[in-house]
A and B are shown apart, each in its own frame.
Chain A
């Protein structure tokens, strides 16, 4: 709160600056306030010596009557919000007591009924949430046909797997394959709360996002390099003009020789964003070529190419950032659900506004919520592994 006497000080100072003098009573009051707030002394001294003042914009362009009309319209159009005045006074105390008691009961109840704790839920002491959720980690499950599953979840140590497949620095490497003949189908499953980077046998690097699957052969054949994707992945394709690299994802088939691109197929219609080189995109009966800086997607059964406004949409996630630029609330929530392994509980209709901003993916959920609360008009409440989305009441400050 800005104290009222600071405002009196500013009023008197401006009067002195404007007219060059003050009535005695006013002068005494100003002296007293300057003793109380000595910081203002220098400011006043400077302004008395220099008559140039900072006018940030042309005052005459502002029509006060028009601004007043805008305000009235804004006020009337605003959604009806509940009246908070009854919160004043003793109601507040009563409700506070009741809430505290309820909280106590809830804690006892949770404590008693908590049979199977989830290890990524932690208490929150900073943001006032009921609990906090740790971010996802590096990891995946590798299925090789005819073999036992290999669990790579949260593995810290390097390890040689079968047939010269290696797990090194958190990445899966096929580059040193020992055999050409033994060539079963591999399925890399990346569950929620995980992500992994792999290097395929041809040297192509793939970053696979949460809740995704990549299916490929340990060795590619001589004609083509073909993989299948569910979910999202970013590819940096190793150059090999003789063997095109083909990704099949939902309704799209993408053919590359040596490029870098992101494919997102979480929804029915897959979307490819090309950051380097050139791509051939096949969608149903049509095929198109796109160049770096463009994307392609099926829209109403038509394969459509479009420019990408910002490349970071394609690369931010693999570099460890959430990127909210130009995304709707629904898209943001879906991303959170995949990375924090939480369920979204939303009974409000989400607006179609597109937001701006971003945050690192290695922070806890409560920190992200804290940012989103500022960024959007929603209240985000964490309740164990559930994220509850509600409209935020207009709060009086």
Chain B
């Protein structure tokens, strides 16, 4: 049985991504996801039901809380007559889910890159250093630099290689 901490650290970011389109605020999205986990902590018996059920529970809680937060925000605009609230929800849940899962997966991929790997990639790709220069800078052998680079590229063999490199190099 996996711990709450595991679920939190694995799914926090993608749940925030999932909540974001409703609330349009990073802080509110994070608060909502925190609240969803508090609800989960109150129901430890759910942990026995497996990862899929827990994910479904978390996604559903986040969705409901995010929609409530959005509705609350809209009430005030509504009385001013500036917008009309459509009760039907035009979010494409499946599309939001796919986006959230993808971002979660990419983030995990990125985090799996060892620290050394990340630094070497940064120096090679961003600062345009030669292997020798990198080796001197980091006080390691040239061979290490080469292996780390190959390792990083192997690890990053995904369609979104560019995206992840962008994350690294920012």
Contact A371 B56 (CB under 8 A): no
Stretch at the interface among B8-16, B126-134, B135-143: B8-16
Q: Mark B59-78, 1 if CB is under 8 A from A, else 0.
A: 11101100010011001100
Would A40 and B98 be within 8 Å (CB), given that A1-B56, A51-B162 are in contact?
Answer: yes
Contact B98 A64 (CB under 8 A): no
Query: Which residue in chain A gives the minimum CB-CB distance to B62?
Result: A2
| B92 CB–A CB distance under 8 Å | yes
Would A56 and B17 be within 8 Å (CB), given that A7-B56, A14-B101, A39-B94 are in contact?
Answer: yes
Contact B97 A6 (CB under 8 A): yes
| B86 CB–A CB distance under 8 Å | no
CA A20 – CA B39 in complex, angstroms? Answer: 36
Distance from B93 Cβ to chain A, minimum over Cβ atoms (Å): 7
Would A357 and B8 be within 8 Å (CB), given that A40-B95, A71-B37 are in contact?
Answer: no
Those of A19-61 within 8 Å (CB) of chain B? 19-20, 37, 39-40, 43-44, 47, 51, 53-57, 59-60
Interface residues of B, count at CB 8 A? 59
| A266 CB–B CB distance under 8 Å | no
Secondary structure at the B interface, as helix, strand, loop or mixed, is: helix
Contact B167 A2 (CB under 8 A): no
Q: For chain A, give the interface size range.
A: 35 or more
Say which residue of B12, B55, B104 sits within 8 Å of A67 (CB atoms): B12
| A74 CB–B CB distance under 8 Å | yes
CA A375 – CA B103 in complex, angstroms? Answer: 32
Those of B1-56 within 8 Å (CB) of chain A? 5, 8-9, 12-13, 16-17, 20-21, 26, 29-30, 34, 37-39, 41-43, 45, 52-53, 55-56
Which residues on B sit within 8 Å (CB–CB) of A227?
none
CA A64 – CA B34 in complex, angstroms? Answer: 12
| B165 CB–A CB distance under 8 Å | no
Contact A75 B41 (CB under 8 A): yes
Query: Which residue in chain B gives the minimum CB-CB distance to A320?
Result: B79
7 contacts between A and B (CB under 8 A): A7-B56, A18-B158, A55-B103, A57-B16, A68-B12, A70-B34, A81-B42
Across chains A and B, which 4 residue pairs bring their CB atoms closest together, nearest first?
A14-B101, A10-B97, A14-B102, A56-B20
